[in-house]
Structure 1
């Protein structure tokens, strides 16, 4: 819904469509998968550990109006802001550690785009649910589980609740116990589940990164057809 470093908005189309009426994202972030296509029409449950990101979602789901979002002021390049909703739009995961930030052209552009997107798409999330806590707080029900944690090791550093705070073996065990289907995202350092390559991405600087996926469904035909 809003800018978030590492979000899946541009690559959501590469992931399997949900096969269950409920989607659960136990690492909510900006919930790009749940917003993709018609996914938002399903019952969506988000879980978010970072209290500031949780508060953004709580405001958007339960209180905000489209007109209120449209009326939020634009950011001016060079000024400073201590609003986390502004700070999170900086193009770096280190933004999660900032108390104030100087508005750059990138931040101002991201905020302007995000403000329009939030106001235009707010109606899609009003039936969603947000839970404050870590991934273990998610209800243990049959669902499409879109699991997108901070990636293991270097790729997952920088977030306030980054890779240094995650026991990936415990996360793997917990994930395999979920009912329904699992769509699990990782980077090249993920070795705690049998991840398979999904796609290769090129950045504006010409660097490449690889996305990996672990997929499991209780419908064998879906699992076999994915790879």
Structure 2
């Protein structure tokens, strides 16, 4: 719904469509998978440990109106802001550490784009649910589980609750006990589940990052195009 470092908006199309009427994102972030395509129409349960991110979702789901969002002031280049909702639009992991940030042209642009997008799509999330808590607080009901934790090793560091605080062996056991369909995201080198290649992303300065996926489902489904072709 909003800019967030590591969100899956650009690659959501590569993931399998949900097989169940409920989608659970236990590391919610900006919930790009639940918002993609027609996924948002289903029952959606978000779980987010970062209290600041969860509070944004609570406001969007339970209180905010499109008019309120559009009436929020724009950010002027050079101004300073201490609003976390603004800061995360800088799209850097450092945003989770900043208390105040100076508005750059990128931040000002992202905020303007985000306001318009949120206002236009707010209706999609009004039936959703948000739990502020650890991923283990998610109800273990039959659902499509989109699990996008801070990535194992270095790339998952820097968040308010990053990879430093996750026991990945415990996470793997938890993943395997979910009911329904499981889509688990990771980066290159992750080894706590039997991940397979999904796609390759071009990053800053030409750096290429390989995205991985672990998938399982209680339903037998032929998904010939489950994984994107690696080029």
The TM-score range, normalised by the shorter chain, is over 0.9
* Structure 2 residues without counterparts, runs of 5 or longer: none
**If the length of structure 2 is used for normalisation, what is the TM-score?**
0.96
The structural deviation recorded for 1:221 is 3.0
Taking a change above 3 Å as real, the CA distance of residues 107 and 206 of structure 1, as seen in their structure-2 partners, is same
Q: How many residues align?
A: 227
Corresponding position of 2:168: 168
CA distance in 2, matches of 1:191, 1:79: 43
Aligned ranges 1:18-29 → 2 under 5 Å: 18-29=18-29
Contact 2:69 2:115 in 1 (8 A): yes
The structural deviation recorded for 1:219 is 1.6
Corresponding position of 2:155: 155
Contact 1:91 1:106 in 2 (8 A): no
Contact 2:150 2:163 in 1 (8 A): yes
* Structure 1 residues without counterparts, runs of 5 or longer: none
Structure 1 position 218 matched with structure 2 position 218: yes
Corresponding position of 1:83: 83
The structural deviation recorded for 1:225 is 6.6
Corresponding position of 1:201: 201
**If the length of structure 1 is used for normalisation, what is the TM-score?**
0.98
What is the RMSD of the two structures over their aligned residues, measured on CA atoms? Answer: 1.1
Counterpart of 1:37 in 2: which secondary structure?
coil
Aligned ranges 1:48-127 → 2 under 5 Å: 48-127=48-127
CA distance in 1, matches of 2:136, 2:222: 26
CA distance in 2, matches of 1:49, 1:221: 33
The structural deviation recorded for 1:204 is 4.8
